[in-house]
Structure 1
């Protein structure tokens, strides 16, 4: 009799655990379903040449970073853009510079990946959303690699693996130690915020944060904004 009672208790316990597991799984699915959709076409509200720390603080440059910055500013003032491969040969602006551009961005949000398609030269960026190890690429690139995850309603993206000496805006360069952490969220249905923390101990004495804001645009197929066409027309290689 006691043995039968024990079996009943075990069955009930197993059933309760199964039900609890099911409820937890459904809650996780519901939570995932409540994530805001970043899908759409976006355009920066105020295109920038330069990154700027929040609150109007001075850029925390190391001696090495300041020397390179000042040299590039002087060259640009003379019309010499030899330091800027985007301006001279339409090379990819990379990150975070591309995010400062006046061209539109289309975001395609999926569970496994978030894609950004840029109007400029049909450039694209991929954010890995799977729970996989964050691995530095064997070969550094202008966009590096990006790994993302959700924290509530905010998409948090870590990017690294960039070319050394690439420009991160019109004048500042980064090193191969550059790391970006973006916190991307909807402030309202038509306003997207990208809060970027920039870390590079070779160029900056400390990490700093800058905030970019984008407005939703009409969803339509984006024409390619061709850099070579821009140069031939006497326009800036990267639109403002």
Structure 2
């Protein structure tokens, strides 16, 4: 497994990352997102209601984990050849990225974060994920997906305090072609994660 060319490719603990929007590629206009007809209808319904799973104590899932108010924390474990991403808000779940060159298993049990394998391309961490369930929204407005979702994420630390995340979404069940978007998260070194108690039966709309 190739290692990053610098020690600062991604931060390792000792800080907190939070969405700093807007997307660097610009928020895709609804007409530019290649929705299948049913997916567009569901998106419009969700956008009008904004009662998403994250506000009801469910794991963020997929790209949604990076745009929560509580932020995230990276932990790189070279001895385990694994990167962990801790989702601070919501039910405080975490995601595992295997860096040991293993393939995706043939028979995966669908989950909120899927099965992720990663490798370095220079100073960019490239993560390939499959095996998602259909229980989360991919962002706050309600972009849908199916269990066919194949996600490619590229994490690049553009400077000490900013991480660029480019996301390619390939889901033939919900979209007519693969499409790419992206955003920044801002890293706050030395900032400790704060306790977040997820409330049962939360009725928050935002």
* TM-score above 0.5: yes
Select the residue among 176, 184, 187 that pairs with 1:213.
Answer: 184
C-alpha distance in 2, partners of 1:221/1:127? Answer: 22
Asked if 1 retains the 8 angstrom alpha-carbon contact of 2:61 and 2:113, the reply is yes
Structure 1 residues 236 and 135: alpha-carbon distance in aligned structure 2, compared to 1, 3 A threshold: same
Q: Stretches of 4+ moved more than 3 A in 1?
A: 31-37, 234-237
TM-score of the aligned structures, taking structure 2 as reference length: 0.82
Select the residue among 127, 131, 142 that pairs with 2:112.
Answer: 142
Query: Does structure 1 residue 97 correspond to structure 2 residue 64?
Result: yes
Cα displacement (A) at 1:224: 2.4
Asked if 2 retains the 8 angstrom alpha-carbon contact of 1:180 and 1:198, the reply is yes
C-alpha distance in 2, partners of 1:150/1:162? Answer: 23
Cα displacement (A) at 1:218: 3.3
The 5 Å alignment of 1:4-15 reads none
Query: Does structure 1 residue 59 correspond to structure 2 residue 57?
Result: no
Cα displacement (A) at 1:68: 1.2
Aligned-residue Cα RMSD (Å) equals 2.8
TM-score of the aligned structures, taking structure 1 as reference length: 0.71
The 5 Å alignment of 1:59-78 reads 59-76=33-50
Cα displacement (A) at 1:61: 0.7
Between structures 1 and 2, the one with greater helix share: 1
The 5 Å alignment of 1:184-223 reads 184-223=155-194
Structure index of larger Rg: 1
Cα displacement (A) at 1:32: 3.2
Query: Does structure 1 residue 182 correspond to structure 2 residue 153?
Result: yes
Measured against aligned partners, the alpha-carbon deviations of 1:125-183 in whole angstroms (never above 9, x if no partner) come to 11100011222553100111110001111100011101135321231221000111001
Cα displacement (A) at 1:57: 6.8
Shifted more, 110-119 versus 31-40: the winner is: 31-40
Cα displacement (A) at 1:75: 3.5
- Give unmatched runs, 5+ long, in structure 1: 1-27
Asked if 1 retains the 8 angstrom alpha-carbon contact of 2:65 and 2:72, the reply is no
C-alpha distance in 2, partners of 1:33/1:157? Answer: 14
C-alpha distance in 2, partners of 1:95/1:219? Answer: 26
Structure 1 partner of 2:101: 131
Query: Does structure 1 residue 172 correspond to structure 2 residue 139?
Result: no
